[in-house]
Amino acid sequence: MVNYQLKEDQIVTKIVELNARVVGLQFPDGLRVHATKLARKIEKETGATTIISGDACYGACDLSDRTMEGCVDILIHFGHTTLPLDYRVPVLFVEAYYTMEVMNSVKEALKILKDYKTIGLVTTTQHLNLLDDVAQLLEKNGKKVQMGPGKGTLRGQVLGCNFSSARELSVDAFLYLGSGNFHPLGLKLSTSKPVIIADPYMNEARTIDEFADRILRARFAKITRAMDAKKWGILVSSKEGQNRLEMARILKEKIEDHGHEAYLILLENIRPELLMAFRDIDVFLVTACPRIAIDDAQIYEKPLITPHEMEIVLGLRDWEDYQIDEIIYE
Ligand code: SF4
Protein backbone atom coordinates (compact mmCIF):
# COMPACT_ATOMS: atom_id res chain seq x y z
CA MET A 1 0.00 0.00 0.00
CA VAL A 2 1.23 3.50 -0.83
CA ASN A 3 2.06 5.52 2.28
CA TYR A 4 0.89 9.06 2.83
CA GLN A 5 1.42 11.60 5.60
CA LEU A 6 -2.12 11.95 6.92
CA LYS A 7 -1.10 14.23 9.84
CA GLU A 8 -3.30 12.20 12.17
CA ASP A 9 -2.09 13.84 15.40
CA GLN A 10 -2.62 17.36 14.05
CA ILE A 11 -6.13 16.39 13.00
CA VAL A 12 -6.95 15.05 16.46
CA THR A 13 -5.58 18.24 18.07
CA LYS A 14 -7.68 20.39 15.75
CA ILE A 15 -10.87 18.44 16.47
CA VAL A 16 -10.29 18.75 20.23
CA GLU A 17 -9.51 22.48 19.89
CA LEU A 18 -12.74 23.09 17.98
CA ASN A 19 -14.71 20.76 20.23
CA ALA A 20 -16.19 19.24 17.07
CA ARG A 21 -18.69 16.51 17.90
CA VAL A 22 -19.33 15.21 14.38
CA VAL A 23 -16.46 15.07 11.90
CA GLY A 24 -16.83 14.49 8.17
CA LEU A 25 -14.01 12.70 6.38
CA GLN A 26 -13.53 12.86 2.61
CA PHE A 27 -10.83 11.10 0.62
CA PRO A 28 -9.99 10.72 -3.05
CA ASP A 29 -10.39 7.11 -4.18
CA GLY A 30 -6.73 6.16 -3.69
CA LEU A 31 -6.72 7.30 -0.07
CA ARG A 32 -10.10 5.92 1.02
CA VAL A 33 -8.43 2.68 2.04
CA HIS A 34 -7.16 4.60 5.12
CA ALA A 35 -10.63 5.89 6.04
CA THR A 36 -11.78 3.43 8.70
CA LYS A 37 -8.41 3.31 10.47
CA LEU A 38 -8.37 7.10 10.73
CA ALA A 39 -12.03 7.27 11.74
CA ARG A 40 -11.34 4.80 14.53
CA LYS A 41 -8.41 6.86 15.83
CA ILE A 42 -10.44 10.08 15.76
CA GLU A 43 -13.42 8.51 17.54
CA LYS A 44 -11.20 6.89 20.16
CA GLU A 45 -9.06 9.96 20.90
CA THR A 46 -11.65 12.75 20.64
CA GLY A 47 -15.00 11.13 21.41
CA ALA A 48 -16.39 12.67 18.19
CA THR A 49 -18.47 10.68 15.73
CA THR A 50 -17.09 10.46 12.20
CA ILE A 51 -18.99 10.30 8.91
CA ILE A 52 -16.99 9.06 5.93
CA SER A 53 -18.03 10.31 2.49
CA GLY A 54 -18.47 7.23 0.30
CA ASP A 55 -18.87 9.19 -2.93
CA ALA A 56 -16.16 9.43 -5.55
CA CYS A 57 -13.94 12.48 -5.11
CA TYR A 58 -11.76 13.81 -7.91
CA GLY A 59 -10.44 17.10 -6.55
CA ALA A 60 -10.96 20.08 -4.26
CA CYS A 61 -13.57 21.08 -6.85
CA ASP A 62 -15.56 18.10 -5.64
CA LEU A 63 -15.99 18.75 -1.92
CA SER A 64 -18.77 17.04 0.02
CA ASP A 65 -19.52 20.22 1.99
CA ARG A 66 -23.00 20.42 0.47
CA THR A 67 -23.93 16.83 1.29
CA MET A 68 -22.39 17.13 4.76
CA GLU A 69 -23.99 20.51 5.53
CA GLY A 70 -26.07 20.26 8.69
CA CYS A 71 -24.52 16.88 9.57
CA VAL A 72 -20.96 17.75 10.60
CA ASP A 73 -19.11 20.41 12.61
CA ILE A 74 -16.03 20.14 10.43
CA LEU A 75 -15.12 18.38 7.20
CA ILE A 76 -11.60 17.02 6.85
CA HIS A 77 -10.68 16.73 3.19
CA PHE A 78 -7.59 14.75 2.22
CA GLY A 79 -5.33 14.87 -0.81
CA HIS A 80 -6.09 18.34 -2.19
CA THR A 81 -5.48 21.99 -1.33
CA THR A 82 -8.12 24.65 -0.85
CA LEU A 83 -9.72 26.50 -3.75
CA PRO A 84 -11.16 30.01 -3.43
CA LEU A 85 -14.75 28.76 -3.12
CA ASP A 86 -17.39 29.39 -0.46
CA TYR A 87 -17.58 26.16 1.47
CA ARG A 88 -20.79 25.40 3.39
CA VAL A 89 -19.06 23.90 6.43
CA PRO A 90 -15.64 24.57 8.01
CA VAL A 91 -13.08 22.53 6.06
CA LEU A 92 -9.62 21.37 7.08
CA PHE A 93 -7.52 20.41 4.05
CA VAL A 94 -4.84 17.77 4.63
CA GLU A 95 -2.48 17.51 1.63
CA ALA A 96 -1.54 13.85 2.29
CA TYR A 97 2.03 13.88 1.02
CA TYR A 98 3.26 10.70 -0.60
CA THR A 99 6.25 9.32 1.31
CA MET A 100 8.04 7.33 -1.40
CA GLU A 101 11.60 7.94 -2.56
CA VAL A 102 11.54 10.25 -5.62
CA MET A 103 15.15 11.31 -6.22
CA ASN A 104 16.08 8.35 -8.46
CA SER A 105 13.53 9.46 -11.02
CA VAL A 106 14.80 13.06 -10.77
CA LYS A 107 18.37 11.88 -11.40
CA GLU A 108 17.11 10.04 -14.48
CA ALA A 109 15.30 13.19 -15.59
CA LEU A 110 18.54 15.18 -15.34
CA LYS A 111 19.95 13.08 -18.20
CA ILE A 112 17.08 14.18 -20.47
CA LEU A 113 17.37 17.77 -19.23
CA LYS A 114 21.07 18.01 -20.07
CA ASP A 115 20.63 20.60 -22.85
CA TYR A 116 18.34 22.87 -20.82
CA LYS A 117 19.67 25.47 -18.38
CA THR A 118 16.60 27.03 -16.76
CA ILE A 119 14.00 24.60 -15.49
CA GLY A 120 10.44 25.24 -14.34
CA LEU A 121 9.58 22.80 -11.58
CA VAL A 122 6.01 21.67 -10.94
CA THR A 123 4.15 18.86 -9.24
CA THR A 124 0.80 17.79 -7.87
CA THR A 125 -0.34 18.15 -4.26
CA GLN A 126 1.10 14.79 -3.11
CA HIS A 127 4.70 15.88 -3.72
CA LEU A 128 4.63 19.61 -2.90
CA ASN A 129 6.69 18.97 0.24
CA LEU A 130 9.58 17.66 -1.92
CA LEU A 131 9.88 20.54 -4.36
CA ASP A 132 12.64 22.34 -2.45
CA ASP A 133 14.72 19.15 -2.21
CA VAL A 134 14.26 18.48 -5.91
CA ALA A 135 15.16 22.10 -6.73
CA GLN A 136 18.37 21.74 -4.68
CA LEU A 137 19.34 18.61 -6.58
CA LEU A 138 18.75 20.35 -9.89
CA GLU A 139 20.80 23.37 -8.79
CA LYS A 140 23.66 21.15 -7.63
CA ASN A 141 23.68 19.86 -11.18
CA GLY A 142 24.05 23.32 -12.67
CA LYS A 143 20.40 24.15 -13.37
CA LYS A 144 18.55 27.35 -12.57
CA VAL A 145 15.17 26.51 -11.11
CA GLN A 146 11.96 28.53 -11.20
CA MET A 147 8.71 27.80 -9.41
CA GLY A 148 5.74 30.07 -9.80
CA PRO A 149 2.79 30.78 -7.58
CA GLY A 150 -0.42 30.03 -9.43
CA LYS A 151 -3.91 31.51 -9.41
CA GLY A 152 -5.71 29.31 -6.91
CA THR A 153 -2.70 27.00 -6.59
CA LEU A 154 0.40 26.95 -4.42
CA ARG A 155 3.99 27.54 -5.53
CA GLY A 156 4.92 24.89 -8.08
CA GLN A 157 1.53 23.19 -7.88
CA VAL A 158 -0.48 22.22 -10.94
CA LEU A 159 -3.98 20.79 -11.13
CA GLY A 160 -5.38 18.91 -14.10
CA CYS A 161 -7.31 22.10 -14.91
CA ASN A 162 -4.88 24.77 -13.76
CA PHE A 163 -1.34 25.31 -15.06
CA SER A 164 -1.14 28.97 -14.03
CA SER A 165 1.90 28.35 -11.80
CA ALA A 166 3.89 27.40 -14.90
CA ARG A 167 2.56 29.66 -17.61
CA GLU A 168 4.28 32.89 -16.53
CA LEU A 169 7.72 31.34 -16.06
CA SER A 170 10.49 32.10 -18.50
CA VAL A 171 12.26 28.73 -18.68
CA ASP A 172 13.83 26.40 -21.25
CA ALA A 173 11.88 23.32 -20.15
CA PHE A 174 9.68 21.98 -17.36
CA LEU A 175 10.30 19.13 -14.97
CA TYR A 176 7.08 17.57 -13.73
CA LEU A 177 7.41 15.40 -10.63
CA GLY A 178 4.61 12.86 -10.40
CA SER A 179 2.77 10.03 -12.06
CA GLY A 180 0.56 9.79 -15.12
CA ASN A 181 0.56 11.75 -18.33
CA PHE A 182 -2.40 14.11 -18.10
CA HIS A 183 -0.75 16.88 -16.02
CA PRO A 184 2.44 16.95 -18.14
CA LEU A 185 0.28 16.93 -21.28
CA GLY A 186 -1.63 19.95 -19.98
CA LEU A 187 1.65 21.60 -19.05
CA LYS A 188 3.00 21.15 -22.56
CA LEU A 189 -0.17 22.39 -24.23
CA SER A 190 -0.45 25.32 -21.83
CA THR A 191 3.20 26.47 -22.07
CA SER A 192 4.40 25.07 -25.44
CA LYS A 193 7.70 24.16 -23.69
CA PRO A 194 9.45 20.78 -23.52
CA VAL A 195 8.15 18.77 -20.56
CA ILE A 196 10.13 16.01 -18.83
CA ILE A 197 8.44 13.72 -16.31
CA ALA A 198 10.23 12.40 -13.23
CA ASP A 199 7.89 9.55 -12.32
CA PRO A 200 8.69 8.07 -8.90
CA TYR A 201 5.87 5.53 -9.20
CA MET A 202 7.48 3.98 -12.31
CA ASN A 203 10.97 4.92 -11.06
CA GLU A 204 11.78 6.44 -14.46
CA ALA A 205 11.97 9.67 -16.44
CA ARG A 206 10.46 10.30 -19.86
CA THR A 207 9.34 13.10 -22.15
CA ILE A 208 5.67 13.77 -22.82
CA ASP A 209 6.15 14.18 -26.59
CA GLU A 210 4.97 10.78 -27.82
CA PHE A 211 1.89 10.80 -25.59
CA ALA A 212 1.08 14.39 -26.58
CA ASP A 213 1.28 13.51 -30.30
CA ARG A 214 -1.04 10.55 -29.78
CA ILE A 215 -3.59 12.61 -27.84
CA LEU A 216 -3.52 15.48 -30.32
CA ARG A 217 -4.19 13.06 -33.18
CA ALA A 218 -7.15 11.65 -31.22
CA ARG A 219 -8.44 15.17 -30.49
CA PHE A 220 -8.19 16.07 -34.17
CA ALA A 221 -10.35 13.03 -34.99
CA LYS A 222 -13.00 14.07 -32.40
CA ILE A 223 -13.05 17.63 -33.73
CA THR A 224 -13.46 16.36 -37.29
CA ARG A 225 -16.40 14.16 -36.21
CA ALA A 226 -17.98 17.10 -34.38
CA MET A 227 -17.94 19.16 -37.57
CA ASP A 228 -20.95 17.14 -38.80
CA ALA A 229 -22.93 17.86 -35.62
CA LYS A 230 -26.25 19.67 -35.80
CA LYS A 231 -27.45 19.10 -32.24
CA TRP A 232 -25.17 19.85 -29.28
CA GLY A 233 -25.45 18.90 -25.61
CA ILE A 234 -23.55 21.29 -23.34
CA LEU A 235 -22.65 19.49 -20.13
CA VAL A 236 -22.65 21.66 -17.00
CA SER A 237 -21.47 20.28 -13.68
CA SER A 238 -23.53 20.85 -10.54
CA LYS A 239 -20.32 20.60 -8.48
CA GLU A 240 -19.48 24.11 -7.34
CA GLY A 241 -15.80 23.87 -8.25
CA GLN A 242 -16.55 22.69 -11.79
CA ASN A 243 -19.69 24.72 -12.47
CA ARG A 244 -19.27 27.10 -15.41
CA LEU A 245 -22.91 27.81 -16.20
CA GLU A 246 -22.27 31.37 -17.38
CA MET A 247 -19.65 30.20 -19.82
CA ALA A 248 -21.98 27.39 -20.96
CA ARG A 249 -24.71 29.91 -21.76
CA ILE A 250 -22.31 31.99 -23.86
CA LEU A 251 -21.18 28.85 -25.70
CA LYS A 252 -24.82 27.92 -26.35
CA GLU A 253 -25.40 31.29 -28.01
CA LYS A 254 -22.29 30.88 -30.16
CA ILE A 255 -23.41 27.45 -31.31
CA GLU A 256 -26.91 28.72 -32.08
CA ASP A 257 -25.45 31.69 -33.97
CA HIS A 258 -23.90 29.10 -36.28
CA GLY A 259 -27.30 27.60 -37.03
CA HIS A 260 -27.10 24.56 -34.74
CA GLU A 261 -29.28 23.46 -31.82
CA ALA A 262 -27.68 23.47 -28.35
CA TYR A 263 -29.07 22.30 -25.00
CA LEU A 264 -27.68 22.79 -21.49
CA ILE A 265 -27.54 19.53 -19.52
CA LEU A 266 -26.81 19.69 -15.78
CA LEU A 267 -25.15 16.68 -14.16
CA GLU A 268 -23.43 15.87 -10.88
CA ASN A 269 -21.20 13.23 -12.46
CA ILE A 270 -20.74 12.68 -16.18
CA ARG A 271 -20.94 9.01 -17.09
CA PRO A 272 -21.42 7.20 -20.44
CA GLU A 273 -24.70 5.52 -19.42
CA LEU A 274 -26.22 8.90 -18.51
CA LEU A 275 -25.35 10.39 -21.89
CA MET A 276 -26.62 7.38 -23.83
CA ALA A 277 -30.19 8.47 -23.16
CA PHE A 278 -29.61 11.58 -25.30
CA ARG A 279 -29.75 9.59 -28.53
CA ASP A 280 -30.49 12.61 -30.74
CA ILE A 281 -27.48 14.66 -29.54
CA ASP A 282 -24.55 14.50 -31.97
CA VAL A 283 -21.77 15.93 -29.80
CA PHE A 284 -21.29 16.82 -26.13
CA LEU A 285 -19.42 19.97 -25.14
CA VAL A 286 -17.93 19.59 -21.65
CA THR A 287 -17.79 22.65 -19.42
CA ALA A 288 -17.20 20.51 -16.29
CA CYS A 289 -13.79 19.04 -15.40
CA PRO A 290 -11.51 19.53 -18.44
CA ARG A 291 -10.03 16.05 -17.97
CA ILE A 292 -13.28 14.28 -18.86
CA ALA A 293 -13.28 14.99 -22.60
CA ILE A 294 -9.64 13.97 -22.98
CA ASP A 295 -8.89 11.32 -20.34
CA ASP A 296 -12.16 9.43 -20.73
CA ALA A 297 -12.67 9.95 -24.46
CA GLN A 298 -12.56 6.24 -25.28
CA ILE A 299 -15.50 5.26 -23.09
CA TYR A 300 -18.02 7.57 -24.76
CA GLU A 301 -19.88 6.69 -27.94
CA LYS A 302 -20.40 10.28 -29.11
CA PRO A 303 -17.54 12.80 -29.26
CA LEU A 304 -16.93 14.87 -26.12
CA ILE A 305 -15.11 18.10 -26.82
CA THR A 306 -13.76 21.04 -24.81
CA PRO A 307 -14.74 24.72 -25.24
CA HIS A 308 -11.55 25.55 -27.18
CA GLU A 309 -12.18 22.55 -29.42
CA MET A 310 -15.72 23.81 -30.02
CA GLU A 311 -14.22 27.04 -31.34
CA ILE A 312 -12.16 25.02 -33.83
CA VAL A 313 -15.29 23.11 -34.92
CA LEU A 314 -17.15 26.37 -35.53
CA GLY A 315 -14.22 27.95 -37.37
CA LEU A 316 -13.59 30.50 -34.60
CA ARG A 317 -10.09 29.21 -33.81
CA ASP A 318 -7.32 27.59 -35.87
CA TRP A 319 -6.10 24.11 -35.06
CA GLU A 320 -2.60 25.64 -34.71
CA ASP A 321 -3.95 27.62 -31.71
CA TYR A 322 -5.09 24.46 -29.91
CA GLN A 323 -5.27 25.06 -26.14
CA ILE A 324 -5.95 22.91 -23.12
CA ASP A 325 -9.12 23.84 -21.23
CA GLU A 326 -8.48 25.26 -17.75
CA ILE A 327 -10.63 26.39 -14.83
CA ILE A 328 -8.71 29.21 -13.18
CA TYR A 329 -10.05 30.44 -9.85
CA GLU A 330 -9.12 34.13 -9.51
S1 SF4 B 1 -11.96 20.21 -12.27
FE2 SF4 B 1 -10.97 18.25 -12.74
S3 SF4 B 1 -8.81 18.72 -12.98
FE4 SF4 B 1 -9.76 20.46 -11.92
S5 SF4 B 1 -9.46 20.05 -9.74
FE6 SF4 B 1 -11.45 19.21 -10.32
S7 SF4 B 1 -11.06 17.06 -10.82
FE8 SF4 B 1 -9.08 18.14 -10.83
Domains along the chain with CATH numbers: 4-98 (3.40.50.11840), 103-207 (3.40.50.11850), 215-321 (3.40.50.11860)
Question: What is the rounded distance in angstroms from the CA atom of residue 33 to the CA atom of residue 71?
Answer: 23
Query: How many Å lie between the centroid of ligand 1 and the Cα of residue 159?
Result: 7
Judged by DSSP in three states, 8 sits in: helix
Say yes or no: CB of residue 293 within 6 Å of ligand 1: no
171-185: per-residue pLDDT in tens? 999 999 999 999 999
Ligand 1 closest atom vs CA 162: 4
79-112: per-residue pLDDT in tens? 999 998 999 999 999 999 988 899 999 999 999 9
Q: Which residue's C-alpha comes closest to atom 2 of ligand 1?
A: 289
Q: What is the pLDDT of residue 99?
A: 84
Residue 72: CB partners within 8 Å, gap ≥ 6? 20, 22, 23, 24, 51, 89
Query: How many Å lie between the centroid of ligand 1 and the Cα of residue 79?
Result: 12
Say yes or no: CB of residue 186 within 6 Å of ligand 1: no
270-300: per-residue pLDDT in tens? 999 999 999 999 999 999 999 999 999 999 9
Say yes or no: CB of residue 161 within 6 Å of ligand 1: yes
Asked if residue 84 lies in contact with residue 61, where contact means CB atoms within 8 angstroms, the answer is: no
Find, among 237, 225, 247, 201, the residue nearest to 313 by Cα.
225
Say yes or no: CB of residue 242 within 6 Å of ligand 1: yes
Instruction: State the pLDDT confidence band at 306, using cuts at 50, 70 and 90.
Output: very high
Query: How many Å lie between the centroid of ligand 1 and the Cα of residue 247?
Result: 17
Question: What is the rounded distance in angstroms from the CA atom of residue 309 to the CA atom of residue 76?
Answer: 37
> Vertex 239, ends 250 and 35: CA angle to 5°?
160
Say yes or no: CB of residue 83 within 6 Å of ligand 1: no
Ligand 1 closest atom vs CA 288: 1
Strand locations in the chain (E): 4-5, 22-26, 49-52, 74-78, 91-94, 97-98, 118-123, 144-146, 173-177, 195-199, 204-207, 231-237, 261-267, 283-286, 304-305
